[in-house]
């Protein structure tokens, strides 16, 4: 048994996972608001321990996906903006606290591994996984292996440029895909649009209770209910996502693309527009790539991280 876990900027979730990919127990916690390193390590350790089954052997290892730039070999988190961490020895510290090995990886990589080994990408050796949440991350399985890159940062597809001199991003660049379709960007943009066109946005604003309550999820709900301003706004966002996807499919030539994350799950047009754009705008035969929703949702990160932890265990000696 191993633990698989996912550490975001505000939430932490962990589960006890069997070798065949079943999650037996799971617990979640809120990340301490201070984001202070020692406090987060302690909170994460306690949440993991609450997944242990009393009377059973303790798990053999922990795998944990972190939203940020991570070195899986050393367990150091180089840069995690949502946690306000820079160069912290997260893996070694958590391992010392729990007394078992800890494998740390980028969270989009653990989600990709989860979907590849247990979800919608199972059995596919050429896979692109796109995670549209607060930010936009991704992972690539190429020729049956996770593409890691020189600094373990391959797959940061959210920071491919969609618009030259475009909107400022949270990375050093401008005009990135994330700055248009990430959750933080959708929130900024829909509020801007509502300020610029208050008459058109009046019904949406009345429904949500004011501009400060225009969150991506509220806009998605309104769009699903047919509210016109929300619908037109998100149609445009889905079109921008689809344009970004065409470039990524041309670059990586996957057989399957999995679109996951809270924002993507809330608005099916991301999948529909993406599918259509790949079919009509990618270079054949790359245009045959299938675009699918996630099968696993939030469990993909737990299962992928658990899988990486299991890979790192010494293989058993032959009998």
Compute the least distance from the CB of residue 162 to Zn ion, in Å.
10
Percentages (nearest 5) of helix, strand, coil residues in the chain: 45, 20, 35
- Among 16-24, 142-150, 156-164, 306-314, the segment contacting Zn ion (CB under 5 A): 156-164
In angstroms, rounded to a whole number, what is the distance separating the alpha carbons of residues 243 and 190? 19
81/268 with CB nearer Zn ion:
81
How far apart (Å, rounded) are the C-alpha atoms in residues 4 and 311?
Answer: 12
Closest CB 90 distance from Zn ion, rounded Å: 23
Of the two residues 100 and 171, which places its CB atom closer to Zn ion in the complex?
171
Considering Cα of 123, then 151, then 10, then 189, what sign does the dihedral take? negative
Please count the residues of this chain forming the interface with Zn ion, following the rule CB under 5 A. Answer: 5
Integer angstrom CA distances of residue 249 from 132, 133, 160, 174, 213: 16, 20, 13, 22, 35
Strand pairing of 136-142 and 145-146?
antiparallel
Separation of alpha carbons 225 and 280, rounded Å: 29
Query: What part of residues 159-218 is at the interface with Zn ion (CB under 5 A)?
Result: 159, 169, 171, 173, 176
Question: Which range in 29-37, 154-162, 271-279, 297-305 contacts Zn ion by CB under 5 A?
Answer: 154-162
Binding piece for Zn ion, criterion CB under 5 A, among 69-77, 144-152, 153-161, 233-241: 153-161
Count of all residues that appear for the chain in the document: 319
CB of 192 to Zn ion, least distance (A): 18
Q: Which stretch binds Zn ion (CB under 5 A): 20-28, 68-76, 142-150, 155-163?
A: 155-163
Chain residues that interact with Zn ion, rule: CB under 5 A? 159, 169, 171, 173, 176
């Amino acid at each position: 048994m191993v633990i698989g876990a996912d550490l975001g900027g505000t939430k932490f979730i962990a589960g006890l996972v069997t070798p065949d990919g079943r999650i037996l127990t799971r617990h979640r916690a809120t990340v301490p608001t201070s984001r202070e390193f020692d406090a987060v390590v302690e909170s994460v350790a306690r949440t993991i321990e609450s997944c242990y089954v009393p009377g059973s052997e303790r798990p053999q290892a922990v795998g944990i996906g972190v939203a940020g730039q991570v070195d899986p070999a050393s367990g150091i988190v180089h840069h995690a903006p949502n946690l306000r961490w820079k160069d912290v020895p997260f893996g070694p510290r958590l391992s010392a606290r729990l007394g078992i090995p800890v494998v740390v990886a980028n969270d989009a990589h653990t989600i990709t591994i989860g979907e590849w080994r247990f979800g919608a990408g199972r059995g596919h050796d050429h896979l692109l996984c796109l995670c549209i949440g607060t930010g936009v991350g991704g992972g690539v399985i190429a020729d049956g292996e996770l593409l890691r890159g020189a600094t373990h940062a391959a797959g940061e597809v959210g920071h491919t440029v969609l618009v030259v001199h475009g909107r400022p991003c949270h990375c050093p660049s401008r005009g990135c895909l994330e700055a248009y379709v990430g959750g933080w960007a959708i929130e900024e943009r829909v509020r801007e649009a509502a300020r610029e066109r208050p008459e058109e946005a009046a019904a949406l604003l009345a429904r949500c209770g004011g501009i400060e309550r225009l969150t991506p999820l509220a806009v998605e709900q309104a769009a699903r209910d047919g509210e016109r301003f929300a619908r037109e706004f998100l149609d445009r966002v889905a079109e921008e996502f689809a344009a970004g996807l065409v470039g990524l499919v041309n670059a990586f030539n996957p057989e399957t693309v999995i679109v996951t994350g809270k924002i993507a799950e809330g608005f099916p047009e991301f999948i529909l527009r993406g599918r259509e754009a790949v079919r009509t705008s990618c270079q054949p035969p790359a245009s045959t790539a299938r675009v699918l929703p996630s099968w696993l949702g939030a469990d993909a990160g737990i299962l992928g991280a658990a899988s990486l932890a299991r890979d790192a265990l010494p293989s058993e000696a032959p009998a």
